[in-house]
Structure 1
Amino acid sequence: MQNNSFPKLHNATWPGIVGKGPDSEPPISFDTMLEMTAAAEVDGIKFDGVDLGLLDPHINIDSSDDEIKRIADKIASHGLKVGSLVAPIWGGPTLGSDDDRKTFVEMVRKSCHFGKVLRAHGVRSYGVIRIDSASSPEEWAKDPVGNTKLVAKTFREACDVAADYDEKLAAEGEICWGGMHSWKSMVDTLEAVDRPNIGFQADMSHTLLYLLGYNAPEHRILPQDFDWNDRQTLTEALKKVTDALRPWTIDFHVAQNDGTVHGTGSHDKTGRHCLATDPNGKLDVANDAGFWLRNENGTLTKAFEHICWDGCMFDNAVLTKQQTWNDILTTLIKVRELHGWN
């Protein structure tokens, strides 16, 4: 029996979409993702909810309020809540045109409205809206100072819109997004936004790559010839990154990484999410989650009410196997056992 009731344990729906498509495998339906999440159970413990990617073909961001309520009813019928939402901002890159940036902000507004309807329904009482710069590190590198200001300006406008809905925005720490492709750049961007409702979404897989300096060699922390068996050096590196970004962290993904990059389409050179049971995983997931969930003194931050598993770009044969989700749930339970509360 588990002693802790918080943080709530969520699964993500977007692994059924991300990396899928015409040049890959077909997407896994929204209904199937919900069914497998609801069916997962370990020692009587089940997932508490899902985080939603507001992305076609699962969800139409232009859904009417009645359509959103039907989605909420469907999720609730599985005994699940909704946490964080992913805004579909990639049609409006922050480093694109003025119209692109207007599109970005409008997609955030639509996502906030979606969240408002879910809250009124009763299926959502916590979570944030996730964003990123929707632009590449290569584009950002053409003018680091000017482009950081441009990303921050766009985020600031989005924050002001989100504030009208009492929503917080979490910038995803993933190395494929310009201005958030290194831990130092991420801090610079967040500081430049200068809004109380901006924060950081830490993903254990993506943030591990911050230590290796992919896309930002100047911000690499681990030595070039790093031996992954050197746990002391890895711990010191994890502490450096988490000390810098933990104060900003308002959304958290439990994940595993094997220390290599992987990507398809716009998600180029990004964190290779591994299965919870992957023997090549470099993280002690349950232990290392504590670097994010506890402060430098070891005290729980309780900065968010739920944690979510994120595992993208796995084969459909893996994602449609129920044992996969039971293994993931087992890992989340271990995190909550070590770093949870009542």
Structure 2
Amino acid sequence: MSQHPNTYPKLHNAAWPGVVGKGDDDANPVIPLEEMLDLTAAAEVDGRKFDGVDIFLSTPHISIDATDEELEQVAEQVKSRNLDIGTVVAPVWEPTGGGSAAGDSDAVEAFLKQVRKGCEIGRKLRQLGVRPNGVIRIDSATPTAQWYEDPATNQSRIADTFKAACDIAEEYDERLAAEGEICWGGMHSWRSMVDLLERVGHPERLGFQADMAHTLLYLLGYNAPEDAILPEDFDWQDKEKKSAALHELTHALRPWTIDFHVAQNDATVHGTGSHDKTGRHCLPNDPNGKLDIAVDAGHWLRDEHGDVLQVCKHICWDGCMFPNDVMHKPQTWNDILAAMLSVQDAHGWNESEA
């Protein structure tokens, strides 16, 4: 019997750590898409390899305005390395052509324009046969400080914008996933995130993208102390209390979860370049990591009865803002793939069981 008998959820690596937080110093320039694909394709553990990548629709990786010919080239680059594409990130933020989902009419129009472009590219990649599953990732593109200026009004505006985004996604038969990051207003706490999803009320088009590094900060209420589940000075050696806190969090958000990032976090925040501080991504074996990756992933990937959910057809490793010298080490990606396999072993399934 194989050491790793499960084939689902498929194991993806994220390409955007080659772009996010990069380019501001000589030691950490942007890592080109092809190099990220090579690093991903080279990783191997017990004869198993990554199945695919999730991508960022932003230059210099892939332009949100990419032509059909350029998308065909991307598809070929990915296929030639025996990989698929899963989730794509739409650049909905102001510096990349978007705007705040809680902003004025011009900002909302810019936001929705980027959503439309993202959905169109997502559909084209499906038509090219390189994207068998995945969602379009969005967020509110609204800084937390801006949201707090008028929480009620801003939450309502974001919900209205997301409803319009759902209408666009329906045109392209895509699903949107809002990522729970503490740096985005309206999504900065778990209660606000649930409230937003319920206000939009289109689970067939809008769901939640859970990232283990970011959602850990939900427990501490970093940008929303009123919603903290654990105290600021929590003793992370108390695994029973940590498990109970994760249970409370996932009970609220798991029904909305349609996309999942495996990650490690040391219970701190981090930001580089233009990226606001959010849950720090650590290497899977970081001695300061507070997550037991395989065990804690089960809170998201199994239901209340402990049965394996088959909602997320792939899971993705997110290692944003790692230094380039770390990312260029082959062992980094082997360690990450091993962590991904541990999640698949613990909470996966085979196609025959689907």
TM bracket (short chain):
over 0.9
Quick one: which of 54, 67, 70 aligns to 2:70?
Answer: 67
The equivalent of 1:227 in structure 2 is 235
C-alpha deviation, 1:266, in angstroms: 4.5
- Work out whether 1:254 is the aligned partner of 2:257: no
Q: Is the aligned partner of 1:100 residue 2:102? A: no
- In the alignment, is the contact (CA less than 8 A) between 1:176 and 1:267 conserved in 2? no
What value does the CA root-mean-square deviation take over the aligned residues?
1.0
Q: 2:154 is matched with which residue: 144, 147, 157?
A: 147
Deviations for 1:288-342, whole angstroms, at most 9, x for unmatched residues? 0000000111011111100000001111000111110000000000000000001
Write out per-residue CA displacement over residues 185-207 of structure 1, whole angstroms, 9 at most, x where no aligned residue. 00001111122310000000000
| Structure 1 residues not aligned, in runs of 5+ | none
Give the match for residue 13 of structure 1: 15
1:208 aligns with 2:216: yes
Corresponding residue number in structure 1 for 2:5: 3
Letter in 2 for 1:340: G
Asked if 1 retains the 8 angstrom alpha-carbon contact of 2:9 and 2:314, the reply is yes
Distance 1:225 1:255 in 2: 22
Q: Which residue of 1 aligns with 2:171?
A: 164
The equivalent of 1:177 in structure 2 is: 184
Query: Are the aligned partners of 1:95 and 1:139 in contact in 2 as well (CA < 8 Å)?
Result: no
Is the CA contact 1:261–1:270 (under 8 Å) kept in the aligned structure 2?
Answer: yes
**Letter matched to residue 12 of structure 1:** A
| Aligned residue number for residue 135 of structure 1 | 142
State the distance in 1 between where 2:141 and 2:233 align: 32
1:115 aligns with one of 98, 119, 122 = 122
* Secondary structure of residue in 2 paired with 1:138: helix
Query: What is the Cα deviation at residue 280 of structure 1?
Result: 0.6
Contact in 2 for aligned 1:69/1:117 (Cα 8 Å): no
The gaps in structure 2 that reach 5 residues or longer are none
How far did 1:94 drift?
1.2
Tell me the residue number matched to 1:331: 339
Question: 2:32 matched to 1:29?
Answer: yes
Amino acid at match of 2:164: E
SS at match of 1:170: strand
Which of 50, 59, 62 aligns to 1:56? It is 59
In structure 2, what is the Cα distance between the partners aligned to 1:202 and 1:62? 27
CA distance in 2, matches of 1:141, 1:186: 14
How far has the Cα of 1:63 moved from its partner? Answer: 0.9
Query: What is the CA distance between 1:225 and its match in structure 2?
Result: 2.4
Kindly provide the CA deviation profile for residues 147-170 of structure 1, in whole angstroms up to 9, marking residues without a partner as x. Answer: 111011111111100111110000
Distance in structure 1 (CA, Å) of the matches to 2:111 and 2:276: 20
Structure 1 runs (4+) greater than 3 angstroms displaced: none
Tell me if 1:285 matches 2:293: yes
Is 2:282 the counterpart of 1:274? yes
Q: Give the secondary-structure state (helix, strand or coil) at the position aligned to 2:87.
A: strand
Q: Is the 8 A contact 1:276 1:331 kept in 2?
A: yes
| Aligned residue runs from structure 1 range 187-198, under 5 A | 187-195=194-202, 196-198=204-206
Aligned to 1:264: 272
Contact 1:257 1:271 in 2 (8 A): yes
- Secondary structure (helix, strand or coil) at the match of 2:271 reads strand
The answer (yes or no) to whether the contact 2:24–2:273 under 8 Å persists in 1 is no
- State the distance in 2 between where 1:319 and 1:224 align: 31
User: Could you tell me which of 59, 84, 87 is aligned with 1:81?
Assistant: 84
TM-score normalised to the size of structure 1? 0.98
Contact 2:86 2:314 in 1 (8 A): yes
Alignment check: 8 A CA contact 2:40 2:333 kept: yes
CA drift of 1:117 comes to 1.0
Distance 1:93 1:55 in 2: 17
1:213-247 CA-partner distances (Å, limit 9, x unpaired): 11100000002321111111111000000000000
What percent of counterpart residues are identical?
61
- CA distance in structure 1 between the aligned counterparts of 2:329 and 2:233, rounded to whole angstroms: 37
Structure having the larger proportion of residues in strand: 1
Supply the distance in 2 between the matched residues of 1:139 and 1:188 (Cα, whole angstroms): 18
Partner SS for 1:267: coil
